[in-house]
Structure formats: C-alpha cells, structure tokens
Copies of this chain bind each other. A is one copy, B any other.
Amino acid sequence: MPIDARALLHELTREARELDIGSTVGRVPASQLNSLVFYRDYVSRNKPLIITGALDHWPAVQAWTVHHILERMGEAKISVARTPHGRADSVINLDGTKYFALPEEEHMPVQEFFAGLQGSRSEVTYAQAQNNSLPEEFGPLLQDVTDLGWATEAFGRTPEATNLWIGSDDSVTSFHKDHYENMYAVVKGRKLFTLLPPSDAYRLYSQTCRVAQYRRNAAGALELQPEEPPREVPWATVDPCPASEEQMQASQLAHPEYWDPDLPSPLQAEVGPGEVLYLPSLWFHHVRQEAGADECVIAVNFWYEMAFDCKAAYARLADQLALELHSQPLPDG
C-alpha cells in the first residue's frame, strides 16, 4: 500500500497544534520572562509569542515621529522598495504566467521617501532593506533603540542583523520563511501576522516561478520585466487576504488545504506599539500593517542565528512530503 502523504501531513498539522501550538499566539509581559524561560517555553518549542511591555526602555517608542527621524537623518539616503501595488517579493500573475516579483530598488533621501509615503502617489514605497539596515542606513537612529538583552542572553549571541522597516497600510509581505530566529519589535502602528508552522509548508502551494523585477518603462510607469538570463525560485502562492470574492473562490479552488475548515486555521498575531513578536525560525509568515492614528508603521526586527538541529531536519522532511503531494493531482471535489 503506498503511503498517503496527505494523511500523514494532516495528522502532523493537527498533532503539532493539539500538543503545543494551540490556536492563538500567547501574550506574556516582558516582566514575567527571563532568558531561560523564554528559550525553554518558546524557542525550544518553536512556538510564537507576543511579548508586551518589551520596549518600555526604548526612547524610539516616544521619539520616532517623522519630524524626529528627518531631523536626525539629515541628508542621508536610504534603500527603498517600490511597486505599483505594495506587494514586493510576491507571486504576481501576468498574462497567465506566475512571476516572482522583485520591487524596483531606489536609493533616496529620507525626506523624499516620507514625502512619497504620505503623499497621494499611485506607487507604493517601503523601507524594507534586510541587510542590517538599522546600523547600515539609519545609524543616527541607533541611539533610540537598545538590544533586547534577555533575548541576546537567551540565544547566546548578538543579532546577525537588525533591520528597520518603515511603511504604510499599502505594503504587504507575502508568505515566506526565514532561516533565523526573529524578534520583531513594533514601534509605531500595528503589524498583522498570519502564521503557519514549518510542518504546514504543504498548505502554501509553493510553485517555481520565474523571477521578474519592476522597472520604469519609457512611459515612466513601473513595469514587471522578467530577469535575463532567466532565473527561477520556489515561492508560496497563497494570498491569505484575497482582494475580492472572486479571488477568494479561485484561491479556495487552487489551495484547498490552506482554507480547509477541517484543518487548524493559520494563527493570527496582531502586534502593537511597544510589543515584540517572537517569530520562530522557519515559520511561514504573511505580514500586513496598519498605521492607524500614527503617521506610518515603523518596526525593528532582530535576526538571531537559528539552531540547525533535529527540528530543521524534520522540517525538511515535511517539505519533501509537501513536494511529493503537489506533484500529485488535487483530490476530487
């Protein structure tokens, strides 16, 4: 009898939820955590957590208005991602083909960036460089932020990278995973994470897509242009927030195991100012944001080296079962 990869993966999904993960992301005040408790009860278990009151000692939480940032940064230039719609690094359908769409990348003065972010331009900009951007590009703001000492103690090393994110409601990050332990600190606005554990890779219907990048065409508009020579990457094709009823129906047809009401729903984590999301290594995350009463959404994330241990080996097994599954036709009905 051939092995039923689908049944095994469904059971893995349910078992991981029932044993440990549950259906909601917990909230714990920073005052109730220490490095050992955090590592034992969350990192070791590869289980997300929202830590409240975690940034009480950060000047940034009060200080980071647009005015303050402009004053501090002066004429400094920063990296900015630009797209027509806010969906950088995601799968875009174009003329019936699925492309993995990279944003146009620009270097511009901070003042120009904020003018675009708050203006009425039809294009969407997002400061989202993930190359240790806080010290590399926003050095003058470093003094408003301190390391999360208990996290650094827990992981036993300083972060590999510290990135600053500044964006508006229009920017969305598509489902993906990182090979890092991630401490995601929200300074202004709210971040809305949709989360699936590494064992649930099969629910995201990864497809190999040709890489393309937005570039400005002769008419001055952003246009998606396939990379030459051609290059392909696998990427999750599920959009958890379809823009219309029609798109929702199409997704339910194409991605039945993402929406399956008999499987546990993806977890939702809404992270507000002064809160930190512990986003465990290899977890899939889709991120939206809401500025609300704030001028924009600002966050700082710390990437710490992950342990490549049995959990990573097991996640790879789940990936392989998922690959096998999706080389098979979808079930009837």
Contact = CB atoms under 8 A, between A and B. Distances in A.
A66 interface: no
A1 B327 CA distance: 9
A307 interface: yes
A307 B45 contact: yes
A309 B5 contact: no
B8 A321 contact: yes
A36 B307 contact: no
A22 to B, nearest CB: 11
What number of copies of this chain does the assembly contain? Answer: 2
A245 to B, nearest CB: 35
A310 interface: yes
Interface string A134-154: 000000000000000000011
A183 to B, nearest CB: 16
A38 to B, nearest CB: 10
Nearest to A35: B36
Interface string A3-34: 10100100110011001110000000000000
A221 interface: no
A263 interface: no
A2 interface: yes
A81 to B, nearest CB: 33
Interface stretch (A95-103, A115-123, A229-237, A311-319): A311-319
A271 interface: no
Contact of A309 (B2, B45, B156): B45
Nearest to A2: B2
A324 B40 CA distance: 33
A279 to B, nearest CB: 15
A37 B12 CA distance: 30
B312 A19 contact: yes
Contact of A154 (B36, B155, B156): B36
A320 B19 contact: no
Nearest to A325: B3
A313 B153 contact: no
B156 A313 contact: no
Which 4 A-B pairs have CB atoms at the shortest separation, nearest pair first? A2-B2, A44-B44, A314-B314, A45-B309
Given A12-B314, A36-B36, 18 more contacts: A1-B327, A2-B2, A15-B313, A16-B313, A19-B308, A20-B307, A20-B308, A20-B310, A36-B156, A37-B156, A40-B307, A44-B307, A47-B310, A199-B310, A310-B314, A311-B311, A311-B314, A314-B314
Interface of A: 1-3, 5, 8, 11-12, 15-16, 19-21, 35-37, 39-40, 43-47, 153-156, 197-199, 307-314, 316-318, 320-321, 324, 327-328
13 contacts: A1-B324, A8-B317, A8-B321, A19-B308, A20-B310, A35-B36, A39-B44, A40-B44, A40-B154, A40-B307, A44-B307, A198-B310, A317-B318
